[in-house]
Amino acid sequence: MSEEVQYLPLEEAKKIVAAIQEEEDIHNQDRRILTVYNHADREVCWFDFEELEKAVGDVPKDQKKEFFQDYILKHIPDWALDI
């Protein structure tokens, strides 16, 4: 039985997220991911770039970073507090 992922409230997520870094997937160099780091420079979670593009939808290129960041901050799992 799988549990549904619970997300942190936006304000709480903003407090723990220090950086969102675009990187190559170490297991698949043709795949890009966005890795989320906390203030201790520890990896919190990551998002697949292509899946994120689909989730965010068609947005102007100059606003893509802002939309991605907003989506990510609204989808930080609650277990991130334990890291």
For every residue of 1-54, DSSP letters joined together read -PPPP-B--HHHHHHHEEEEEEEEETTEEEEEEEEEEETTS-EEEEEEHHHHHH
Residue 38 lies in a domain: yes
Confidence at residue 28, expressed as pLDDT on a 0 to 100 scale:
79
When the pLDDT of each residue in the chain is averaged and rounded to a whole number, the result is 92
pLDDT at 2: 59
Cα of 15 vs its chain's centroid, Å: 14
- Does residue 37 contact residue 44 with C-beta atoms inside 8 Å? yes
For residue 62, give its domain range: 10-82
In a domain, 2, yes or no: no
Residue 1 pLDDT greater than 70, yes or no: no
Is 3 a member of any domain? no
Between CA 75 and CA 60 the distance in angstroms is 21
Residue 59 lies in a domain: yes
Residue that has been written with the tokens 């890291």 in this structure: 83
Q: Looking at residue 24, what is its pLDDT? A: 82
Instruction: Please state the domain count of the chain.
Output: 1
Task: List pLDDT tens digits, range 18-54.
Answer: 999 999 877 777 889 999 999 999 999 999 999 999 9
Note whether residue 54 is domain-resident. Answer: yes
